[in-house]
Structures are given as structure tokens and as C-alpha cells.
């Protein structure tokens, strides 16, 4: 029974196990704990109890947040140990006055609230990660369900439009699968030809239009300030608060509201967790039951895919099921209510089937991959690459102790069932390996340059592809890497470089160094490391500081290593060493050649012709041309690094950020050499980021000023004030409110709309609202043939007419101004002529 707090100024002793304040009960006191320990428990879905955290010690004020928000206890508080408390009658309407009268009590309340907030934040973050991991697994399983049992989806064909699930589909798993398949295929997703367990842990958020946050996004500057303030010396605080006692009550009120927000977030996450558990292991309509049928079909020889591929996935699902059951027990202290009826049978049958196929290898069925020499002798290649890891380490010149440490780590990695598991121990092991691996890579590359690129084959494969140990790869992958010869690329205006080519350009000073993750270039870093030196510009640097080796070392750490990691698109499973667990499709089909990349870029530029254009100043004193602003297309450098993944990184919009010529410098876009997904879709995302960041950089403080129209200013205005926009219906506004929550920031929202603009709107398929369509048509116009096609549609006719009028006026103005620059044979300098063509309607 809860303690009676209506008695004024009482001191009570509460035995262990007693409930002090039930969740939802009204608050009518401020309570101070003198000794003992407390347990905070929240009520979850379906009456389940979730322990949030425990606190012990004196001078705690349990449940004080209820006095500042809501007036009811947000969770139950139990006596974990025997507790001694004092209770003071108080209500939400009187608490501020009471704390202002006794600042020392207010400081105690503030510190107690901060302890509760800290523990609650830890617990909520734990729930956030568990829920996101489960949701990601469920989404990936819903895609594999289609692949393993396509007969359930007779109307769905890859590459063809998929209708929205109708109201007649009541099965939650079928609805989830259809929704995910629709988004996955429309956004360039490619299902693996040979699914592996790793696929269940991969993130396909871009293709699925989902967001899997691993922790709460909490950015409250006022809270951070007050947190530091309330932890200051109590004597100093007493002096600070005594002139204005209301300050302490304000601090407590703010902390109480923060705790209330965290509690609400936690309850929302609990509901998401309940849904995720239900999808995976809850009842007869769950993914467990769907895959139990596939398990039966596989055991009886009726499965649509090879058992060698299905069984490892079923084993991984078994592990996910067991983990979910154990996780539920650990969180709620009770078994999952009404679980899927065939869970036990699923686990037992999967284990039996795994033993049956234990010696089977899926490698044999993958030799048909594009780019593999079918006549190549896999056994001979494997023999040629025998002991590759040892050969690479020795060639790199790594120190003796580091060799010993790295060898031990690799032995441990190779002993794992799957080196890409996302558990904490495996992630820690991969981080240790990664650090030393890049020391090895850097040592090998320096020798590669010094030896005129004549290196042992394993070293060459590592530098190109991230290869390291032949035992970590299957035969088809080894055959591809050993035999594949990239065709000679025809001349192109697009600067594309493989990783070694780019590093060599930096070494030979043919390109400036990149920015690091802190936005520093080589010169910035040197100045930071030599603060006592008076270096004003790069030419001041002495040769012992500024030399090819130093620049190469900086580039390697600043750009190269970071992008090998980031282009994987899955930081939770990142390992720079290529393994058979990385690739869901044959390497030949994932490989990015220069020609393939050129074609994909040209395809996008064929829609968005101005994607790389920017306004620069053109001077030609000989012709009397002084400061003419012209549009110029400056294509970024594309760098293909040795990684495998699903992310194309827009690393920087300019290569030179200060001084003359900076606005005319190339940006840098980085790709993995093996792409897991649709290359065009990934490039479109990178181009959206490039457009956004280039506009911000060139406009500076004006990037968000609607008085100076630009794509960033107009789009930010749309995102921030869409609720007041008269051109949007109530239904559209509600849809946008839900959709915007999926994205981290405005640039990501823009990138999503840019995908729809390039893929669908350019094909006369309306996927954007009229406001966004108008903004994009003005700032991101289609190429002329596409404009002529879409202009016939009612949705485009008005904005097209407006666009023509604006462009015609601009063209006429330029044409008249340029007449004085026409030479004797009636021609203009190329920059002016190209500028006229840019504005020609």
C-alpha cells in the first residue's frame, strides 16, 4: 500500500518491497529520502512492468517531476531497501513558491531530478536501440519473405510498379511486406541473389524510407546549461540564487519538463517495441509463423530457393527469435505473452535442418556471376593466394609487436561464426582490427609508389578491393578479383579515379588535400599542430613539414580511411577487410567500373542539366570583359575506394574553400568499389547533398534568406512553414508532418524529394506536392526535352509558363549586353556563349 503523504511534515520508515507512489496517482507532497534505495517501474503495453532504474542514497526527492508536469506520478516508485523519508505537503500550484523560499531545498530537488533524468535517458536509449534493431530485422525479413515465397505475391514483379496495399489485406505481415517491397523497388533496392544471414542486419533505410535511430536525438541547449549550473558548488549556487529565489524554481521546472518529455518518449518507444515484438514472435500472424512455413517447404524439398541459402538464414532467424524471447524476459521479467505457437518447433526443426546441410557450400552456385572467368581454376587461384594475410603484413613493414597483436586479432575474427555480427564484443574486435589494418594498407601503398607499382598480387588486390585473407572469401569472389580486367574507359569530361589513382594524385600534388571530418585541410592541421610557428600561407611551410609523404598521410587519415568506413552504409557491422559475408550479390554485379559510373552520372545530368552548374566571374581584359557573371558546370571528382556498401558520400562541395578560385574548384564524391544497391539512386542522393551544400557555401549567410531566392532558402521556408501554407490541403499537411519525422534534417528531406523529382516527376508521374514542384521547377529545371514533355500536363503548365517568362527575360538581357563582345566574325567567347545557352528556353 502506498504511503499516506497527506500528513504534513512527517518522517516515515517504509519497509523494502513497499510501493511508495503508484503510477498515475496524484501528487500532493514533496518527499525527501534520507536513507535506503528506490526502484522506478513503468507500466508497459498490456500491463507489463518495466524496471527503469534504481537509485540509492540520501537527499533524493523521488517523483518530484510530477510537481512540475501533469500532477501525477509518471511511473511507480518502490522501496528497493528499507527507506526513511520526510514528506512535505505540496502541490504543483505551490511548489515554485516553496522552493523559492528555500533555495537549498530547490538545489536538492534539481540535483535529484538530474540523477533521475540521467538514468532515464540511459534506459530510454537502450530501449531505442533494441526497438530499432528489431524493426530493421522485421523489415529485412519482410523482403526475404517475398524472395523465399514469391507465390504469396503473384502480382509483384521486380522492376514493375507495385500498388498500395488495399484495405482487403488484413494480414499484418503481408501488408508490411507489400509496403516495404513497394518502397524498396521504387528506390532502387536490389534483393540479393543469394541471401546470407548478414542481410538481416543490414540497413536499407534509404530504400525503405525508414529510420532506425540507435539513440534519442536530444539537443536542448538550455537543459545542457542548467545541468552544468545545478552541479556547481552548492555554496556558489546559494549566493547565485539568493538575490532572485525564483531562479531555482525555474531550474527545477525546466528539469521536470525534460524528465516528463523523456518519459513520454519512453512510452512511445515501448509501444513501438510491442509492435516490433508482435511482428516477429507474436501470435499466429507473425514473421516466425511465415518462415515456419518456408522451413517446412525447405525440409520437404518444395522451397523456391536452394536450401544451402535458406538454411543459414533460418538459423539466423532462430538466433533473432531466441534473442527476442530472452530480451523480453530481461526487460519485463516475464515471458512473451501469447507468442507464436510454432516457436519451439521452429527452433528445433531449424537446428535439425542445419545439421543436414552442414557441409554444403553455396559457393558452387555463384559461378555464373557477371565478370567471373568461368574457365578459371578456382583451386589454382586459391593456392596462388595462399597465406595472403601473412604476405601482406610482411610487405607492409609493420612492427613486430603490432604483427603479433594483429595476428591474434585475426585468429579470433576467423573463429567467429559471422565476423559481421553487431554485438558489442564483435564490434570491439572489428575496431581493433580496423586500426591496425589501415596502418598495413598505408605501408603497402607507400611501397606500391616506391616500387613503380610492382607489388605482390595479394597486396595489389588489397589496394584495389580491400582483400586481405583468402580464407575469408568464397571461390567465385577470389576468381573475380584475380581475373577481372576493367575495360579501358573512353575519354570523358567526368574525372573518375580509383582509390590508388587518387592517393597518387595527392602524393604528386596534382590535387589539393581533402578536408577531414572536422572540416580542416592540410594547412589547417599543420597550423593546429604547430601553434608556435607563424605560418601565414602554405608556401611558408618548410619541406620537412610539407612534403609528399606528409600530404599522403593526411589524405589517408582525413578522407580515405573515413570514406572506406562511411560508404559501407552500415557502421554497426563495419569491417574494411572484404569477406564472403559482405556481399549479397556476386562481386561482378556489384563492381563499379568507370564506364558504368560515367553512364549513371550522364543519365542523371540528362534530367538535371544544371546539377553541377554555379555562377562564377569571367574576366577577359583583351576583349574588355570585366566581371561578367556566367554559369559554369564544374563536375566533382569521383573517387572509388576499396569498400563494399550502399552509400555514396558527398564528401565536400568544393576542394578549395578559401581564396581566389575557390568557387571554381571541384567537389569530391566518394563511392565504394562494390555497390550494394542501385547505383543511380545512390548517386541521386549524393547529388542532392552536393546541390544543397554548394548553395549554402556559395551564398554564405544568405543561404536561408527568402529575400534572396535560392533552392535552400525557398525549400527551408517550405519545410519550416508548411503548416501555414495556403497552397497545401489539410490532408497533405498531415502527411508531411508524419513524413518529416523520418528524417534527421532538412537536407535529408530535400534529398528524398529530389529522388522523386529525378525519377518520377521527370517521367510525368506526380509524386510531389504543388509547392515543392514549383520550387524545384524554378531552381532545378529539367533538361529542355523533358520540359517540353511535362509542360503539356496541367500540373506543370503554369509553372512552366512562369519559368519561360523568367528565362526569356534573362536571355534577352544577356543577349543585348553581350552584343558589344561579338568579334569580327560574329562569335562570342565560349564562356559567354555557353552562358547564353544555359538560359535559352
Query: Does pLDDT of 373 surpass 70?
Result: no
HSE-up of residue 99 (Cα within 13 Å, Cβ side): 27
- Mode of pairing for the β-strands spanning 649-652 and 76-79: unpaired
Q: What is the mean pLDDT of residues 102-118?
A: 92
C-alpha cell at 795: 500540373
Query: Does pLDDT of 677 surpass 90?
Result: no
C-alpha cell at 2: 502506498
- Mode of pairing for the β-strands spanning 613-620 and 625-633: antiparallel
Instruction: Find all residues with CB under 8 Å of 561, minimum gap 6, and list them.
Output: 438
Residue 518's pLDDT is 83
Give the whole-number percent of the chain exceeding pLDDT 90: 61
Distance CA 776, CA 779 (A): 5
Distance CA 112, CA 64 (A): 8
Distance CA 624, CA 613 (A): 25
Residue 84's pLDDT is 95
The closest of 458, 432, 417, 443 to 576, measured between CA atoms, is 432
Distance of CA 585 to the CA centre of its chain: 22
C-alpha cell at 125: 536509449
Q: How far is CA 836 from CA 194, 663, 803, in A?
A: 52, 20, 16
Residue 466's SS3 state is coil
Question: What sign does the dihedral 145-151-152-155 (CA atoms) show?
Answer: positive
* DSSP characters over 341-375: TTHHHHHHHHHHHHHHTTT--GGGGGTT-TT--TT
Distance CA 250, CA 501 (A): 60
Residue 310: pLDDT band (50, 70, 90) is confident
Q: Read off the pLDDT of residues 375-421 as tens digits, 9 standing for 90 and up.
A: 568 889 999 999 999 999 999 999 889 999 999 999 999 999 889 88
Q: What is the mean pLDDT of residues 75-101?
A: 92
Residue 421's pLDDT is 86
What element of type H or E holds 382?
helix 378-384
Residue 375's pLDDT is 53
Output Rg (C-alpha) for the chain, integer angstroms: 31
Residue 372's pLDDT is 47
Distance CA 651, CA 268 (A): 35
Grid cell 522552493 is found at 99
**How many H helices and E strands in the chain?**
30, 13
Residue 540's pLDDT is 83
Residue 822 or residue 460, greater confidence: 460
Query: Does pLDDT of 130 surpass 50?
Result: yes
What element of type H or E holds 183?
helix 172-186
Distance CA 747, CA 839 (A): 27
Query: Does pLDDT of 366 surpass 50?
Result: no
Residue 358's pLDDT is 62
CB-based burial of residue 113 (10 Å sphere; 0-12 exposed, 13-18 middle, 19+ buried)? buried
Instruction: Find all residues with CB under 8 Å of 27, minimum gap 6, and list them.
Output: 21, 63, 66, 67, 71, 72, 73, 91, 92
Query: Does pLDDT of 432 surpass 70?
Result: yes
Residue 345: pLDDT band (50, 70, 90) is very high
Q: What is the mean pLDDT of residues 775-792?
A: 95
Q: What is the mean pLDDT of residues 262-283?
A: 92
Where would I find the beta strands (DSSP E) of 663-787?
Answer: 668-675
Residue 192 or residue 256, greater confidence: 256
Query: Does pLDDT of 158 surpass 70?
Result: no
Distance CA 687, CA 680 (A): 10
- Among 40-44, 163-167, 189-193, 354-358, the range with the most confident prediction by mean pLDDT is 40-44
Question: Residue 41: beta bridge partners?
Answer: 51, 76
Query: Does pLDDT of 770 surpass 70?
Result: yes
Distance CA 624, CA 811 (A): 21
Residue 657's pLDDT is 78
Residue 371's pLDDT is 44
Q: Read off the pLDDT of residues 518-560 as tens digits, 9 standing for 90 and up.
A: 888 898 888 888 877 778 788 888 888 899 999 999 999 999 9
Residue 456's pLDDT is 94
What element of type H or E holds 388?
helix 388-396
Instruction: Find all residues with CB under 8 Å of 806, minimum gap 6, and list them.
Output: 778
Residue 370's pLDDT is 42
- Among 92-96, 659-663, 666-670, the range with the most confident prediction by mean pLDDT is 666-670
Range name among 79-88, 393-402, 488-497 with the lowest pLDDT average: 488-497
* DSSP characters over 535-604: --SGGGS-TTTSSHHHHHHHHIIIIIHHHHHHTTS-GGG--SS--TTT-SS-HHHHB--HHHHHHHHHHH
Query: Does pLDDT of 73 surpass 90?
Result: yes
Q: Please, what is the average pLDDT of the chain?
A: 89
Q: Read off the pLDDT of residues 178-212 as tens digits, 9 standing for 90 and up.
A: 999 988 888 877 787 777 787 888 888 878 888 88
Query: Does pLDDT of 658 surpass 80?
Result: no
Query: Does pLDDT of 360 surpass 60?
Result: no
Residue 226: pLDDT band (50, 70, 90) is confident
Q: Read off the pLDDT of residues 678-707 as tens digits, 9 standing for 90 and up.
A: 899 999 999 999 999 999 999 999 999 999
Residue 299's pLDDT is 85
C-alpha cell at 693: 551544400
Residue 114's pLDDT is 93
What element of type H or E holds 249?
helix 246-281
Neighbours of 457 (CB within 10 A): 15
Query: Does pLDDT of 481 surpass 70?
Result: yes
C-alpha cell at 79: 522501496
Q: What is the mean pLDDT of residues 710-725?
A: 95
Grid cell 545541468 is found at 227
Distance CA 14, CA 3 (A): 8
Distance CA 421, CA 319 (A): 12
Amino acid at each position: 500500500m502506498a504511503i499516506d503523504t497527506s500528513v504534513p511534515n512527517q518522517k516515515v520508515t517504509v519497509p523494502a518491497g513497499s510501493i511508495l507512489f503508484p503510477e498515475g496517482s496524484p501528487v500532493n507532497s514533496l518527499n525527501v529520502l534520507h536513507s535506503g534505495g528506490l526502484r522506478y517501474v513503468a507500466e508497459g503495453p498490456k500491463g507489463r512492468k518495466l524496471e527503469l532504474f534504481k537509485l540509492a542514497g540520501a537527499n533524493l526527492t523521488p517523483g518530484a517531476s510530477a510537481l512540475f508536469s501533469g500532477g501525477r506520478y509518471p511511473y511507480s516508485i518502490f522501496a528497493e531497501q528499507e527507506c526513511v523519508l520526510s514528506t512535505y505537503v505540496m502541490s504543483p500550484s505551490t511548489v515554485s513558491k516553496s522552493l523559492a523560499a528555500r533555495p537549498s531545498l530547490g538545489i536538492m530537488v534539481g540535483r535529484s531530478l538530474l540523477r533521475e533524468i540521467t538514468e532515464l535517458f540511459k534506459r530510454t536509449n537502450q530501449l531505442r536501440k533494441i526497438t530499432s534493431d528489431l524493426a530493421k530485422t522485421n523489415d529485412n525479413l519482410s523482403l526475404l519473405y517475398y524472395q523465399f515465397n514469391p507465390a504469396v505475391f503473384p502480382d509483384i514483379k521486380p522492376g514493375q510498379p507495385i500498388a498500395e496495399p488495399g484495405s482487403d489485406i488484413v494480414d499484418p505481415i503481408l501488408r508490411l511486406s507489400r509496403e516495404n517491397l513497394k518502397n524498396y523497388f521504387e528506390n532502387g533496392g536490389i534483393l540479393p541473389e543469394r541471401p546470407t544471414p548478414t542481410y538481416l542486419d543490414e540497413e536499407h533505410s534509404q530504400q525503405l524510407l525508414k529510420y532506425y535511430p540507435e539513440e534519442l536525438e536530444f539537443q536542448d541547449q538550455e537543459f545542457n546549461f542548467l545541468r552544468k549550473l545545478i552541479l556547481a558548488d552548492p555554496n556558489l549556487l546559494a549566493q547565485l540564487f539568493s538575490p532572485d529565489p525564483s531562479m531555482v524554481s525555474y531550474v527545477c521546472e525546466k528539469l521536470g519538463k525534460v524528465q516528463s518529455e523523456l518519459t513520454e518518449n519512453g512510452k512511445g518507444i515501448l509501444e513501438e517495441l510491442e509492435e516490433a515484438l508482435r511482428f516477429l514472435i507474436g501470435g499466429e500472424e507473425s514473421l516466425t509463423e511465415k518462415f515456419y512455413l518456408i522451413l517446412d517447404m525447405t525440409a520437404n524439398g518444395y522451397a523456391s530457393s536452394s536450401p544451402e541459402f535458406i538454411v543459414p538464414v533460418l538459423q539466423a532467424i532462430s538466433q533473432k527469435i531466441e534473442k527476442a524471447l530472452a530480451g523480453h524476459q530481461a526487460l519485463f521479467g516475464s515471458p512473451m505473452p501469447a507468442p507464436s505457437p510454432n516457436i519451439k518447433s521452429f527452433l528445433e526443426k531449424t537446428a535439425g535442418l542445419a545439421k543436414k546441410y552442414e557441409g554444403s557450400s553455396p559457393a558452387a552456385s555463384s559461378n555464373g556471376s557477371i565478370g567471373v572467368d568461368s574457365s578459371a581454376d578456382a583451386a589454382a587461384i586459391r593456392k596462388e593466394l595462399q597465406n595472403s594475410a601473412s604476405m601482406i603484413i610482411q610487405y607492409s613493414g609493420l612492427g613486430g609487436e603490432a604483427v603479433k597483436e594483429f595476428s591474434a586479432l585475426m585468429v579470433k575474427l576467423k573463429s567467429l561464426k559471422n565476423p559481421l555480427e553487431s554485438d558489442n564484443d564483435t564490434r570491439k574486435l572489428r575496431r581493433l582490427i580496423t586500426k591496425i589494418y589501415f596502418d598495413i594498407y598505408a605501408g603497402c601503398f607507400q611501397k606500391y609508389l616506391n616500387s613503380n607499382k610492382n607489388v605482390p598480387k595479394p597486396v595489389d588486390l588489397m589496394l584495389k578491393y580491400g582483400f586481405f585473407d583468402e580464407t575469408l572469401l568464397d571461390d567465385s569472389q577470389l576468381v573475380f578479383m584475380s581475373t577481372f580486367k576493367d575495360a579501358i574507359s573512353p575519354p570523358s569530361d567526368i574525372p573518375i579515379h580509383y582509390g590508388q589513382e587518387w592517393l597518387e594524385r595527392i602524393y604528386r600534388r596534382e590535387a589539393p588535400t581533402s578536408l577531414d571530418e572536422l572540416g580542416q585541410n592540410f594547412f589547417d592541421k599543420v597550423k593546429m599542430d604547430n601553434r608556435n610557428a607563424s605560418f601565414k600561407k602554405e608556401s611558408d611551410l618548410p619541406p620537412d613539414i610539407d612534403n609528399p609523404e606528409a600530404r599522403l598521410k593526411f589524405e589517408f587519415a582525413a578522407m580515405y580511411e573515413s570514406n572506406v568506413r562511411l560508404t559501407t552504409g552500415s557502421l554497426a557491422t563495419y569491417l574494411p577487410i572484404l569477406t564472403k559475408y559482405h556481399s549479397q550479390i556476386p562481386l561482378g554485379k556489384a563492381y563499379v567500373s568507370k564506364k558504368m559510373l560515367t553512364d549513371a552520372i550522364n543519365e542523371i545530368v540528362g534530367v538535371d542539366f544544371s546539377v553541377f552548374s554555379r555562377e562564377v566571374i569571367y574576366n577577359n581584359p583583351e576583349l574588355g570583359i570585366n566581371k561578367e557573371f556566367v554559369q559554369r558546370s564544374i563536375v566533382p571528382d569521383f573517387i572509388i575506394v576499396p569498400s563494399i556498401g550502399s552509400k555514396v558520400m558527398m564528401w565536400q562541395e568544393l576542394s578549395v574553400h578559401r581564396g581566389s578560385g575557390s568557387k571554381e574548384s571541384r567537389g569530391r564524391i566518394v563511392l565504394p568499389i562494390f555497390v550494394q544497391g542501385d547505383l543511380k539512386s545512390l548517386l541521386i542522393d549524393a547529388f542532392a547533398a552536393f546541390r544543397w551544400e554548394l548553395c549554402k557555401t556559395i551564398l554564405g549567410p544568405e543561404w536561408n534568406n527568402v529575400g534572396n531566392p535560392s533552392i535552400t532558402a525557398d525549400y527551408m521556408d517550405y519545410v519550416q512553414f508548411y503548416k501555414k501554407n495556403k497552397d497545401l490541403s489539410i490532408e497533405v499537411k498531415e502527411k508531411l508532418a508524419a513524413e518529416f519525422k523520418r528524417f534527421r534534417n532538412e537536407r535529408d528531406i530535400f534529398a528524398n524529394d529530389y529522388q522523386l523529382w529525378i525519377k518520377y516527376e521527370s517521367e510525368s508521374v506526380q509524386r510531389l506536392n504543388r509547392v515543392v514542384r514549383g520550387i524545384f521547377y524554378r531552381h532545378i529545371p529539367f533538361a529542355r526535352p523533358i520540359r517540353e514533355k511535362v509542360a503539356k500536363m496541367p500540373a506543370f503548365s503554369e509553372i512552366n509558363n512562369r519559368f519561360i517568362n523568367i528565362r526569356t527575360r534573362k536571355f534577352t538581357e544577356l543577349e543585348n549586353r553581350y552584343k558589344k563582345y561579338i568579334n569580327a566574325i560574329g562569335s562570342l567567347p565560349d564562356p559567354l556563349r555557353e552562358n547564353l545557352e544555359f538560359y535559352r528556353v
